[in-house]
Amino acid sequence: MASEEKSLHFIEQIIEDSLANGFPQNKLRFRFPPEPNGYLHIGHAKSICLNFGLGLKYNAPVNLRFDDTNPAKEEQEYVDAIKEDLQWLGFNWAEERYASDYFQQLYDWAILLIKKGKAYVDSQSSEDMAAQKGTPTQPGVDGPYRNRSIEENLALFEGMKNGDYPEGSHVLRAKIDMASSNMLMRDPLMYRILHRHHHRTGNEWNIYPMYDFAHGESDYIEQISHSICTLEFVMHRELYDWFLEQIYDENQVKPNQYEFARLNLNYTVMSKRKLLQLVQENIVNGWDDPRMPTISGLRRRGYTAASIRKFCEVIGVAKRENIIDISLLDFCLREDLNKTAPRVMAVLDPVKVVITNYPEGVEELLDAENNQEDESAGYRKVPFSRELYIERDDFLEVAPAKFFRLSIGNEVRLKNGYIIKGESVTKDSKGNITEIKVTYDPDSRSGSGSEASQRKVAGTLHWVAVKTAVEAEVRLYDRLFIDEAPDSHKEKSFLDFMNSASLQIVKGFVEPSLSEAKIGEHFQFQRLGYFVVDKDATSLKLVFNKTVGLKDAWEEKDKKEANLLTNTQKEINKYVKEKDDKAASALLNIIVDNIKSINNFSLLCQTLVKNVKNDNNSLLFANLILHFSDKVKTNDIDVEVLHKLYNMSLKSQLAAARVFVLLNIKSDLVNSPIFEGQILELKNVEKNEKVLEVLTSI
């Protein structure tokens, strides 16, 4: 029992405590309350799994309530998409509700608050209201309309409802405490005027309730027992409770708000506004673009509902914000698809192989296992003949020692087939290989039990037979951003970190068993990764999306870039010690090429900052990154750190450090005036020719 208690997350523990303290189990009720102003994304999946998971655990109803109080941004399209996503994830709601269902009740409660002297109509501009609310350290002051009479407030509010006033002319505010330490309690807005068409109520209303007022009251109407939201609403809880206290009937369930840490993923953005920007500016092909973190985008990419649910289970429910590595989501996906996805063969960058000693016009059917992880998956027949396609990078004429694929004079096995040996190649006028000639061992067929079939060779290649191959369009998707936190850099737009290689479209060939593949079906293309049939596929054209590779290529890439920078710093030491100008120049070229090849903005910035220290070689390295990387600019570096780099480098005993800091200062139009005096002093004492050459150009 103790171990079971430990496994409870803190929200479950709260519910257990509620039940232990006498709260009736049959009164438990939860809700998932999306605003229909965009498509759901992976961040919402955590909240979905939490709320609906609680419903399943405690056999309690979970409502789907659309908080549709802002007609300026909400559309029926989003309502439909949200419902589709929830059902696809495997969840069913008890009741479908809308905040707009409660507009009349909310209006009546607003009238009640006015009559109780707890709400008033304010006619100030938004700027004046902001000014009179004060600051976190300075209390607010009463506005000029705070003490309007109840009769005047009622008349004005009715006029607002009737459409007598333009947008922005009046708002209804709660009268709470202008000196509260919680600024949200300083007479918050309850209603604003919006002459907009609502997707459900049409033009019936000219005023719409604010989220803070509508949300808690809607929970109360639906008798939600535990209102679960994310941490940014912690400060809203006091206001949530205040609004409830004004209308609470002790015979009813009073909802309580609890907050958990939302999901933050690296290498993506979660802001609906930014996702909408990607769609509106045609940077992606709609909300369901397979590169988007939306649930519809993940679904189209080939992510499974089970993998998303598993991911949400693994990351758990916590009180503290943290950033989850997106590779964990991919791990959950691979784990799911590995059990369920049939193995097939596809060649995406084909080069023809001709088996010269295989009889012409002959075709045989080879047995191929559908999924070694699933005993019930069985086998299929794959046609084999004299001419095949293999991947172009699976062949090298002259292979290095650790190349375990096809080369001249070396043997490999064809998956489910025979052992072949490279003999010769045919090339076009540009030297590109157009055909590889090989021979095969007729006794080496896989599974035949012959001595030859059991011979060990360097590697195994996938292939498709030319005659029966089916052409397919394959969309190779990758991460949309090259930086792990694309929207966290003050001086840069998240659009500066778009991955130019996030989509590549190739024409490949697949085995004939895929000719009847249906939209949404998943496959493992052996040795290449997991793929899914896209909705653009037709009976005449197969289209596949790459879902995920067999391994985490980004983890390998990040390690390679980090190692490359570490090794580059060692090259700096060699460069500084090198006496021969020609050899030094060659080393510098290597260093520069390495710096230019690094795409990880955060890694570059972190490395630069770490090297701003009293060490000549480190200062040179930092200046070289700043000078040669097209990813890092001077305004990306904290001003104090940048000035420290300039100051220390100008005084460096290493001439190369002085050369490159001068070049950096020269191109830094914002900060260069600050260092004019130091540069002038340097001109008077400098003796190195290369440094003097740069000084004369400044």
Contacts of range 692-698, beta carbons closer than 8 Å, 24 or more positions apart: 694/659, 694/662, 694/663, 694/666, 695/662, 697/666, 698/662, 698/665, 698/666
Tokens of 143: 């506005």
Tokens of 46: 């955590």
* Number of neighbours of residue 577 by Cβ within 10 angstroms: 10
- The residues facing 531 across adjacent strands are 523, 546
Q: What are phi and psi of 269, to 5 degrees?
A: -120, 145
Tokens of 371: 């999924």
Alpha-carbon dihedral 637, 643, 649, 651, rounded to 10 degrees: -170
DSSP string, 423-440: EEEEE-TTS-EEEEEEEE
User: CA separation (Å) from 143 to 124, 125, 147, 175, 283?
Assistant: 8, 11, 8, 11, 45
Contacts of range 625-630, beta carbons closer than 8 Å, 24 or more positions apart: 625/595, 626/664, 627/660, 627/663, 627/664, 628/592, 628/595, 628/596, 629/595, 629/596, 629/598, 629/604, 630/596
- Count of alpha carbons within 13 angstroms of residue 539, beta-carbon side: 0
Alpha-carbon dihedral 691, 695, 697, 698, rounded to 10 degrees: 140
The b-or-e profile of 377-395 (16+ CB within 10 A means b, else e) is: eeebebbbbbebbbbeebb
User: CA separation (Å) from 4 to 9, 264, 328, 391, 690?
Assistant: 11, 28, 25, 51, 71
DSSP string, 45-74: HHHHHHHHHHHHHTT--EEEEE----TTT-
Tokens of 218: 């809607």
Name residue, tokens 């802002």. 70
- Give the type of residue at 669: L
Tokens of 3: 């171990």
Q: Which residues are catalytic?
A: 35, 262, 272
Chain centroid, CA 376 distance in Å: 36
First to last CA, the chain: 76
Q: Measuring CA to CA, which residue among 597, 600, 625, 591 is closest to residue 611?
A: 625
Residues 6+ apart with CB under 8 A from 137: none
